[in-house]
Structure 1
Amino acid sequence: MTVLERAIETDRLTTDQEKIDSVTRSITEHGNYLRKRYPILQHQNVLGASVMVFSLAGMVVTGGLYIEGFIPAWACILINALLTSFIHEIEHDLIHRLYFRKQPLAHNAMMFMCWLARPGMPSPWLRRNLHFHHHKESGTESDVEAWITTSGSPWGILRLLKLVDGFLFGFLNAVFAPGWRQKVKLLGKIIRLNTPFGLLYWGCWYVFLGYHLYTWLGSVMGADIQSSATTLALMNIVNHAVVILIAPNMIRQFCLFFISSNMHYYGDVAPRNALQQTQVMNPWWLWPFQLFCFNFGSTHSIHHFVVRDPFYLRQMTAPYAHKVMAQAGVRFNDFGTYKRANRYSMEHSHTRPRG
């Protein structure tokens, strides 16, 4: 790089930082305005705890209605998928210590409840360091959290598999890793990250798939398959767990990872440049996915500029924030990201903010 090129790059970074500071300041001021206009927003701990209690109680009630036969399995799955999306947002806010910061007992109790409601994910305490690093180095090669959600991977069977079943994908990565030391290291990491709830969660899922695949193949082949009373009792528990907890979380996680991995840029992002880290994705046809990740594609970019606002406030600030972010150069609905494996660089950009 020549002296002139270095000077131009320095000027560009300075200009970008000025834009970032301006966007952060504007969104923060708008958030303060909303807090004054709606005094209830100042009771952040109560609001967070209320959403948490409502979501957990909703899952219990919906599960009970399904078990008693009042609602079908598909209704229970969809309702609980929606409720777990609320819990994910609460957990994300808790990772940033937005609720009960000075009351560790209440804070950690909420963290634990989030983990129980989403047992297929590593503990939120383990994820905290990864997430903080994600904010510092978003989109760079060291951003492990982005890689976990498939950001930067070319589209194909492997990426789809990872979106559907991260545990199986991680296991296959370990099996095909070069050298026994690397295999053992990766397998150990997978086990550690999924202990204890993740192992029960994924184990239950694979038992469910295996048993029903076995009985289906038997019926197709005309075999007379008779399960013991113990097996039937066990599968009754497994079936209920899948409908009430596992299938809802798999839907939620697929939708979240699909949206998150494509609205984050990865691989060629300028370090700590919030203008390049994310885009806003809010076309109408993404709503089936947005529904189960609480409109993540439309509002998560705001979080990269202003961390202190809880998830519900980001929804309220979105119309204003989108205008400010668009003026600063944040991209909107850059669908070329699917072809570019989420790289930021592109030859032509035709991205406009949508309402």
Structure 2
Amino acid sequence: MATAPARGKSATDKTIQREILAISDDIRQRHGWLKHQNAIGFGIFAIAIAGCTLNAVLYLQGLMPAWAVILLTAFWTSLLHELEHDLIHWMYFKNNKLVHHLMMLGVYLWRPTTINPWVRRHLHFHHHKHSGSETDLEERGITNGEKWGLKRLIMVGDNMLAVYLRAIKYLTEPVRLYRRGIITRKDIRNFRLIGLVSYNPLGVIVHAIWHGFVLYHLLNGIAWLAGTSIAWPEVMTAQLSWITPLVVILIAPNMLRTFCLHFISSNMHYYGDNEPGKITEQCQVLNVWWLWPLQAFCFNFGSTHAIHHFVVRDPFYIRQMTAKRAHRVLKENGVRFNDLGTFRRANRMHEKPQAAL
């Protein structure tokens, strides 16, 4: 997608990148096992899928309660999300396309509420080049730049509701950007194509099941409070025999994981008034203590993702290993930490100037 060209890296960006690379190189040299990147990635992949499968089996046998399955599977799928991100950057099996794409398929099938990862690859590369711009569809898709309120809170946790609640905007936005000279006619087609294929068919189907499940129990709850009950058709209630296990084993864990990840990601990235191409203005480090329950289900994303913007080559576990030292570099060079004012400013870096009297 075309957009205003980003400026080259600033001297500060280059300094940060150079110092974090040095920290990463030092850690790689001290831990020789890190050179086996393909094996490590596949090992995490296998363990996470085995964990999800074991949880499912224990639940179906009545040996694990639903709440434990949801929490544990949300954790395992958070690892699969990190693997997907690394796979998007070709960090595993770059020279073995069969294994690479099988891993892409695996992380997708266990996280069916997400965008197709092959589509996301294009969105994510664009995000790195034009982070915080109007064409940064990856972050805008998870509410970056929206005013905070009930609508944004709902959209953070539910990808399909985020689409439904902004359907008109999605239809008119490409034309608006084209008229302003930000995108081309070809980009308009790409915008609409992405909209059609991003969640089809898996995401649409899974979200429909989830919405039906939630609506069914919500209406029953309202009826119970009103002292009555709903006479559902038998053919409908019979479907709960497979829908409920599917929700517990797969859908609810991913909805929890999605909310935690998107809440942190959409609030740590800046939007709208950050200088194009200036990495220090693309995102902050968001690791305030009260976010730890959410960080647990997105592998400490708020603390480590800013590192990734400067050094793309490192997989998620190495970013975690570099975090303590890398944070000192980021702080010394002006990257913001826990700038909670972004909740009020709708992701802008700066307060809006007051109108002249």
Per the normalisation by structure 1, the TM-score is 0.87
How far did 1:201 drift?
0.8
Q: Paired residue for 1:10?
A: none
C-alpha distance in structure 2 between counterparts of 1:20 and 1:188, whole Å: 34
Distance 1:84 1:329, change over 3 A: same
How far did 1:85 drift?
0.5
Counterpart pick for 1:225 among 227, 231, 240: 231
2:143 is the alignment partner of 1:150: yes
Which 10-residue stretch deviates more, 132-141 or 209-218? 209-218
2:88 is the alignment partner of 1:95: yes
Contact 1:191 1:199 in 2 (8 A): no
Q: Percent identity?
A: 45
Contact 1:81 1:252 in 2 (8 A): yes
How far did 1:222 drift?
2.5
Residue by residue, what CA displacement relative to the aligned partner does 1:242-295 show, whole Å, maximum 9, x if unpaired?
111111111111111110111111101101111111111111111011111110
Q: Paired residue for 1:206?
A: 211
2:178 is the alignment partner of 1:172: no
Counterpart pick for 2:67 among 67, 74, 77: 74
Counterpart pick for 1:322 among 307, 327, 331: 327
C-alpha distance in structure 2 between counterparts of 1:92 and 1:177, whole Å: 25
Contact 2:141 2:162 in 1 (8 A): no
Report the aligned-residue RMSD: 2.3
Structure with a larger share of its residues in helix = 1
**TM alignment of 1:276-291, pairs within 5 A:** 276-291=281-296
What stretches of structure 1 of length at least 5 have no aligned partner? 1-12, 348-355
2:77 is the alignment partner of 1:84: yes
2:36 is the alignment partner of 1:43: yes
Residue by residue, what CA displacement relative to the aligned partner does 1:207-248 show, whole Å, maximum 9, x if unpaired?
2123223443444442473652x5444212111111111111
C-alpha distance in structure 1 between counterparts of 2:169 and 2:122, whole Å: 28
| Equivalent residue letter for 2:258 | Q
C-alpha distance in structure 1 between counterparts of 2:94 and 2:320, whole Å: 22
Q: Paired residue for 1:3?
A: none
How far did 1:69 drift?
1.0
C-alpha distance in structure 1 between counterparts of 2:170 and 2:80, whole Å: 34
C-alpha distance in structure 2 between counterparts of 1:112 and 1:52, whole Å: 11
| Equivalent residue letter for 1:234 | Q
Contact 1:215 1:225 in 2 (8 A): no
Distance 1:177 1:113, change over 3 A: closer
C-alpha distance in structure 2 between counterparts of 1:111 and 1:75, whole Å: 27
Distance 1:224 1:163, change over 3 A: closer
Counterpart pick for 1:274 among 275, 279, 282: 279
Residue by residue, what CA displacement relative to the aligned partner does 1:92-125 show, whole Å, maximum 9, x if unpaired?
0000000001100000000011110111112111
Distance 1:312 1:149, change over 3 A: same
C-alpha distance in structure 2 between counterparts of 1:256 and 1:169, whole Å: 15
**TM alignment of 1:1-355, pairs within 5 A:** 17-174=10-167, 190-219=195-224, 220-223=226-229, 225=231, 228=234, 230-346=235-351
What stretches of structure 2 of length at least 5 have no aligned partner? 1-6, 176-188, 353-357
Residue by residue, what CA displacement relative to the aligned partner does 1:318-337 show, whole Å, maximum 9, x if unpaired?
01101111111111111111
Aligned pairs, number:
330
C-alpha distance in structure 1 between counterparts of 2:236 and 2:275, whole Å: 55
Larger RCO: 1 or 2 (CA < 8 Å, sep 6+): 2
C-alpha distance in structure 1 between counterparts of 2:336 and 2:249, whole Å: 38
Contact 2:13 2:279 in 1 (8 A): yes
Contact 1:171 1:187 in 2 (8 A): no
C-alpha distance in structure 1 between counterparts of 2:146 and 2:227, whole Å: 39
